[in-house]
Structure 1
Amino acid sequence: MNPIDFARSIRARERAVGYWVVLDDPVATERLARVGYDYVCLDAQHGLMGYEGLRNGFLAIDAGATSQAWVRAASNEAAGIGRALDAGATGVIVPLVDTAEDAARAVEACRYPPHGRRSYGPMRSQLRVGPTPAEADEAVLVLAMIETPQGLENVEEICSVPGLDGVYVGPSDLRIAVGGSSPKDSSVDEVFEAALERVAAAAKGAGVAAGIHNPDGASAARRLEQGFTFATVASDLVHLEQVAAQHLAAARAEG
């Protein structure tokens, strides 16, 4: 699917499933991008890559020719977001969005004038996205992360920001935000689930997409049934460790 049609499908709240990449290994990313996920997201916030890693990762995703190239930006900062877009990102997940004003700033960083403040210099991205500003704006998705106490409190206002295409739950931080002592603290399950329901309802009410990160495919399926419209599965580093441990256990098992 081309970037514009895919962006339209996300805005229409059609379901999508993506994958998360934190390792700076374009060969591995290329293989993952051929599996069939709707998008592959490179993590510039917590991932183990710099700008060159992002660029090479986008090249690898596009070589797979089946997944859209997304990025989680390092911060809600126009220069970094602009460089990722110029390198070829078709979706930007912006972390630590606390208010409607934060979300509006993220939209401005991703859109060309008159709808935003993105500077024109699409370098590599013009090969696939645009190259005219209006076409690029239509092809690029802007997604605000809901992961803080303030973001949850203001989620309805955030979802209503003009130009924002959707919200994305960072479950580890959100669980801590609602009182958990760690990302796996089960004592806050009830309030955490209520928070997820609030986010999904706010997005539906505003007519925007609602996404969430998940530890595995089964969890992603459950969240999609719950009302989220797109879901990301785990990460390359997590799966590398998990599968290696499984094979080690199998090799050492007694007959």
Structure 2
Amino acid sequence: MAPPENTDLAAKMKRGEPVFGATMYTGSTTAVEVAANWGLDFAFIDAEHTPVNVDGQMEKLVLAALLSGIAPLVRVRGTNEWDIRKSLEFGATGVIVPQVNNADQARAIVKAAKFPPIGRRGGDASCRAAGFAGPGFQWSKYMEHENATRLVIPMAESYEFFDNMDEILEVEGIDVINFGPADYSISRQISIDYSMSHPEVEEKLAELVERCHARGIKVMAPCIPPVAENVIALRKKGVDMIIMGNDVMFLNAGCRGAREAIDTAAKTA
């Protein structure tokens, strides 16, 4: 029996269609499944800023995504090869790696995520990605399939990334670059602007899209606030993978609405 995996995300991206997802900070399988119910393409599961580690809890989140039909992309804590390898062995469709500032870091990510001849990922067949070495398992097919289908997504979220961008993008094995406007702004000590209306942030996104697309690399970026106008703007800028907010944002929006209803009712009572 083949292990569960998500092929819809790759198929849409191959056709040049935009894909949409949400970031998951709460560590809740419910949030992942709800996102799938509403037809989002990927769940950006965070282990950088949350109590979630690449352990049994992450495995449940990845499996919840796979079984509900949404592609799990795991943001690990950094270039740690064990986090990268384990996320993929759990069955993640790809790994997102924060704070990539130079080509050496990019090469380290690819080395951990890809089997030879592209990288030097360590292997074990007793994992979900390998179907737990079940009927018909073949090492050669497993490694070839992993290399061809698992996304490697470094993050561009510092001025150092842009200083070294051409060298980073030349590293073989990179599939997508995720632009982080908040951390880029922090690195430059300019006002934090998720909407990317700040001239410098907008300029860097445009530069990133141009350089990535010239090499066949996709670009991911957040859509904040997640409204149609901003989706249209990001598509016009060439963004391929659009993050439509996060589960904490959605909880805040719901609770804000409840608070407003309570306060309005109190005024009219």
Structure 1 length as normaliser, TM-score?
Answer: 0.89
- What letter is aligned with 2:160? Q
Answering whether residue 88 of structure 2 is matched by residue 85 of structure 1, we say yes
2:245 aligned residue (218, 234, 239): 234
Q: Which amino acid aligns with 1:172?
A: A
Q: How does 1:1-255 map to 2 (within 5 A)?
A: 3-4=6-7, 6-7=9-10, 9-10=12-13, 13-50=16-53, 51-65=55-69, 67-121=70-124, 123-127=127-131, 132-181=142-191, 183-184=192-193, 189-218=198-227, 219-253=230-264, 254-255=267-268
The change in CA–CA distance for 1:208 and 1:13 in structure 2 (over 3 A counts) is farther
CA distance in structure 1 between the aligned counterparts of 2:33 and 2:8, rounded to whole angstroms: 22
Relative to 1, partners in 2 of residues 1:185 and 1:216: Cα closer, same or farther, differing over 3 Å? closer
Kindly name which structure, 1 or 2, has the bigger radius of gyration based on alpha carbons: 2
- Matched AA of 1:137: N
RMSD: 2.5
1:63 Cα deviation from its structure 2 partner: 2.2
1-structure distance, mates of 2:104, 2:87: 22
The count of corresponding residues between Structure 1 and Structure 2 is 252
Instruction: Kindly state the Cα deviation for residue 192 of structure 1 after the two structures are TM-superposed.
Output: 1.4
Unaligned runs of 5+ in 2: none
1:66-113 Cα deviation digits (max 9, x unpaired): x11111111111111111111111111111111122212111111012
Paired residues of 2:194 and 2:222 also in contact (CA < 8 A): no
Distance in structure 2 (CA, Å) of the matches to 1:16 and 1:185: 19
Large movers: runs of 4+ above 6 Å: none
2-structure distance, mates of 1:20, 1:185: 14
State the TM-score, normalizing by the size of structure 2: 0.85
Unaligned runs of 5+ in 1: none
- What is the distance in 1 between the residues matched to 2:80 and 2:16? 27
